[in-house]
Chains A and B, each alone.
Chain A
Amino acid sequence: MLRLSLRTRRTLLPYLFLGPGLLWLIVFFAIPLVNQLGVSLMTGNPEQGYTLQWHWATYSHAISDYGTQFGRSVLYAGAATILDLVIAFPLAYFIAYKAGRFKNFMLLLVVLPFFTSYVLRTVSWQLILNDNGWVVHRFQDLGLLSSDGRLLATTGAVIAGITYNFLPFMALPLYVSLEKIDRRLIEAATDLYASRTTAFRKVTLPLALPGIFAGSLLTFIPACGDFINAALLGTPNQYMIGNVIQSKFINILDYPTAAALSFILMAAILVGILIYGRLLGTKSLREAV
């Protein structure tokens, strides 16, 4: 046993604890990203291979060629995030304040979908929205859909699929932040003659902002890069940037473009997070003053 002074041990231990995990992340996360940056600046073709040429034009080409898919990703992911917020907020509120002894059971129900395969659940939506399915026929009977109208292979289906798949990611952080609010603050507001609505708007909502922020990120980020929903519930007209990156990388072997696209996606998301955080942050600050 190595005998070191307590002081030396206390300074060395954290590095020893961090070392292996950090090394894993550096080798398999950070270095691949740097390597990816290099790949995005290469030119060549699948047959002869690619060499690094500092070819920045790939980026401008990527943006001009796949701007539509980028726009779609942001639009679909944004729509799904808002829908999830609208669906999940009352649910989380109910679980946190009104569910009583059913609280744990309801929470279990929210996480249970995680234990059925994501792909399989999406295939299940394919079946539900199928042209010859019960849902389409009822929609047609009710006149909500024309006789040759479809639900599958539409923008709506893709957005609904994304909304569905990421709903628990919105509901859980919302629940956590609502649960943490000191109930006495809300009581104090109503005691001081604030109406229920005002108390909700001025007390509950601002205090739930961290949850809204976390939930939106946990929904929006994976939704932006998702390609399963567009592939299974949409057509190439609904393809998002994830579909492009995947097919460029796996099928077409156009590595530079795929690398450039994933870099643009990552940068856009980071900028988005910063702006969103700033917006929510300043808003809550203003509310406090």
Chain B
Amino acid sequence: MLRNDRVRNGMLGVWSTLALLYLFIPIFIVILYSFNDNKGRFNFTWQGFTFKHWAHPFANSDLTTALTNSLIIALATTIIAVALGTFMALALVRYGFRGKGVTDMFVFLPLATPEVVLGAALLGMFLTAHIDTGMVTIIIAHVMFTVSYVVVTVRARLEGMDRHIEEAAMDLGAAEWTTFRKVTLPMIAPGVAAAALLAAAISVDDYVVTSFNAGSTQTFPLYIFGATRQGVPAEVNVLATMLLLAVLVLMGLNVLLQRHLARRDRIATGGGFDGGPDADEEEAPFELAEATARG
């Protein structure tokens, strides 16, 4: 029986390792080929090791513009979507009102719609209204389909939160706004941070909806897709690797920050206050997944 268990666990472990390997092989290739000493346009076969692409990562001005655009769009999208979505989540969890069920469904609907439908419908409206597509329409589109993710993520956090702490603050004479600022916001902050990260990640990475509403504006994914026919330049691999490293550093910093804050809270309150489960940046998709699993 015990031997059986060990065999079973071993097999599970091997399977899981293989699954993770499957997830990572293409990423290894992306990183590896940023060091490829390729002759000519194509970066498809390994021709030796070089740092030459890393020496001038921003040499390709079209690519740099595309990446800059993507980052600007992601920043604007994140700010707007998080602001809109957080308050929607608050309304949906904290208040009872007429039409709540319908609103719930409606907010969830964009998540259940294929991106190609969202993108095409939006472009159809811009065409009908004679609105030129470009940077602004991309941001409009990105906010439209990230706001639901924000609602779902923040709501998951709010639902796991003890209401009594807010009530206690109000009983002790704090005004609603003060309570929100001093109690609610700090408690949902990890959820909001997770939602922001998720919105930024989705926005930077989006190809489908963007391809409909971009006009002549280039973004990072649009540039890569467009370049596939002539061969994707190695600078793309360099920038993608840098982006991945930046995210890893941010995640690491966040984990350290959370630990620091948790320790400070424990000291300040003599261990009495626990701000809920430790929420690291990497929890973003889990909170989302949890919320969707529940819905």
Residues in chain A within 8 A of chain B (CB atoms): 9-11, 13-15, 17-18, 20-22, 24-25, 28-33, 35-36, 39, 87-88, 90-91, 93-95, 98, 104, 106-128, 130, 132-133, 164, 167-168, 171-173, 175-177, 210-211, 213-214, 217-218, 221-222, 224-228, 232, 242, 245-246, 249-250, 255, 258-259, 262-263, 265-266, 269-270, 273
Contacts of A36 in B (CB 8 A): 120-121, 124-125
8 Å CB contact of B114 from A127, A242, A258? A242
CB of B113 within 8 A of CB of A11, answer no
For the complex, would chain B's binding face be called helix, strand, loop or mixed by DSSP majority?
helix
Distance in angstroms from B8 CB to nearest chain A CB is 8
Q: For the complex, give the distance between the alpha carbons of A171 and B22 in Å.
A: 13
Contacts of A33 in B (CB 8 A): 121
CB of B205 within 8 A of CB of A118, answer yes
CB of A109 within 8 A of CB of B12, answer no
CB of B27 within 8 A of CB of A116, answer yes
Contacts of A127 in B (CB 8 A): 29, 33, 44
Among B47-55, B81-89, B258-266, the stretch in contact with A = B81-89
Contacts of B91 in A (CB 8 A): 13-15, 17-18
Distance in angstroms from B36 CB to nearest chain A CB is 10
Interface residues in B88-112 by Cβ distance below 8 A to A read 88, 90-92, 94-97, 103, 106-107, 109-110, 112
Contacts of B13 in A (CB 8 A): 94, 98
8 Å CB contact of B95 from A13, A106, A224? A13
CB of B280 within 8 A of CB of A104, answer yes
Jot down 19 A-B pairs with beta carbons below 8 A, ordered by A.
A22-B106, A28-B143, A107-B286, A110-B23, A113-B26, A113-B27, A117-B224, A123-B228, A132-B45, A168-B23, A173-B290, A175-B289, A211-B293, A221-B112, A226-B208, A246-B116, A249-B124, A266-B114, A273-B112
Distance in angstroms from B180 CB to nearest chain A CB is 11
Distance in angstroms from B81 CB to nearest chain A CB is 9
Known A-B contacts A13-B91, A225-B117, A246-B116; the reply to A114 vs B22 at CB < 8 A is no
Contacts of A245 in B (CB 8 A): 116-117, 120
Residue of A nearest to B283 (CB): A107
Question: Chain B contact residues (Cβ within 8 angstroms of A): what range?
Answer: 35 or more
Digit string of B1-33 for contact with A (CB within 8 Å is 1, else 0)?
Answer: 000000001001101100110111111011001
Known A-B contacts A116-B240, A265-B114; the reply to A106 vs B88 at CB < 8 A is no
CB of A21 within 8 A of CB of B85, answer yes
Residues in chain B within 8 A of chain A (CB atoms): 9, 12-13, 15-16, 19-20, 22-27, 29-30, 33, 44-45, 83-85, 87-88, 90-92, 94-97, 103, 106-107, 109-110, 112-118, 120-125, 127-128, 140-141, 143-144, 147-148, 151, 176, 201, 204-205, 207-208, 211-212, 220-221, 224-225, 228, 232, 236-237, 240, 243-244, 247-248, 251, 280, 282, 284-286, 288-290, 292-295
Distance in angstroms from B104 CB to nearest chain A CB is 11
Residue of B nearest to A122 (CB): B26
Residue of B nearest to A28 (CB): B144
8 Å CB contact of A246 from B26, B30, B211, B293? B211
Closest 6 CB pairs of A and B: A225-B114, A124-B26, A21-B84, A14-B95, A17-B91, A172-B289
Distance in angstroms from B129 CB to nearest chain A CB is 9
Distance in angstroms from B190 CB to nearest chain A CB is 15
Residue of A nearest to B144 (CB): A28
Known A-B contacts A13-B91, A90-B15, A128-B25; the reply to A108 vs B282 at CB < 8 A is yes
Q: For the complex, give the distance between the alpha carbons of A98 and B9 in Å.
A: 8
CB of B208 within 8 A of CB of A228, answer yes
Known A-B contacts A10-B95, A117-B240; the reply to A18 vs B103 at CB < 8 A is yes
Knowing that A118-B221, A259-B120 touch, tell me 15 more A-B residue pairs with CB under 8 angstroms.
A24-B147, A39-B128, A112-B27, A112-B248, A113-B27, A114-B285, A117-B224, A127-B44, A167-B23, A176-B290, A217-B112, A226-B116, A255-B124, A265-B116, A273-B112
Contacts of B26 in A (CB 8 A): 113, 116, 121-122, 124-125, 128, 164
Known A-B contacts A29-B110, A167-B22, A211-B293; the reply to A24 vs B116 at CB < 8 A is no
Contacts of B247 in A (CB 8 A): 115
Contacts of A120 in B (CB 8 A): 30, 221, 224, 232, 236-237, 240
Q: For the complex, give the distance between the alpha carbons of A168 and B122 in Å.
A: 28
Contacts of A269 in B (CB 8 A): 112-114
CB of B212 within 8 A of CB of A176, answer no
Distance in angstroms from A75 CB to nearest chain B CB is 16
8 Å CB contact of B205 from A112, A117, A168, A222? A117
8 Å CB contact of A258 from B9, B110, B113, B120? B120
CB of B12 within 8 A of CB of A93, answer yes
Distance in angstroms from A37 CB to nearest chain B CB is 9
CB of B289 within 8 A of CB of A94, answer no
